[in-house]
Amino acid sequence: MPPVPADFEPDSWHRHFAIECNNRAWDLAVALRTDAEDQAMLNAAHASAWHWSFVGTELNQMRAKMLLAEVHALLGLGSSALSYATEMRGYFLANEAPDWEISFTHTIYAHACLVAGDKDRFREAYRSAEQAISLIADEEDREVVLKTFNQIPDP
């Protein structure tokens, strides 16, 4: 947990809650969840994105959209998942990003395509995710991405 801000500046608190909500939503995204935890995951993802909209860089905001895409995909919300995934994919593939982030991009885009019913784009994105994951240099980073990737069925 990030330290609680010592000041009363709204930006400090927005950053604090953006990080807290982000971490909570990702923890739930890779866990077995109850219906109540599904709702908590959705709320936390949207709260994180909202707080980042005040204090985040473009990178923070795109990472928030990545989380929204995954959460919406996990909950079967295909149209919104694909909308978020398409936007964040455009950003991450057009900008320099670490290997783990490119892997997440392909993984979450694949998941969103699957849930949205676009089987052709799903198969292509799934293969891109497999390839990107194989190129992750750090084993711990690969394991983190695989927690998300392994939730998606093979094409």
CATH 1.25.40 given to domain 10-149: yes
pLDDT for residue 146: 98
Q: Using one digit for the tens of pLDDT, what is the confidence trace for 24-73?
A: 999 999 999 999 999 999 999 999 999 999 999 999 999 999 999 999 99
Confidence of residue 1 (pLDDT cuts 50, 70, 90): low
For the chain, the structural domain boundaries read: 10-149
SS (H, E, C) the chain: CCCCCCCCCHHHHHHHHHHHHHHHHHHHHCCCCCHHHHHHHHHHHHHHHHHHHHHCCHHHHHHHHHHHHHHHHHCCCHHHHHHHHHHHHHHHHHCCCCHHHHHHHHHHHHHHHHHHCCHHHHHHHHHHHHHHHHCCCCHHHHHHHHHHHCCCCCC
pLDDT for residue 4: 86
Q: Using one digit for the tens of pLDDT, what is the confidence trace for 11-36?
A: 999 999 999 999 999 999 999 999 99
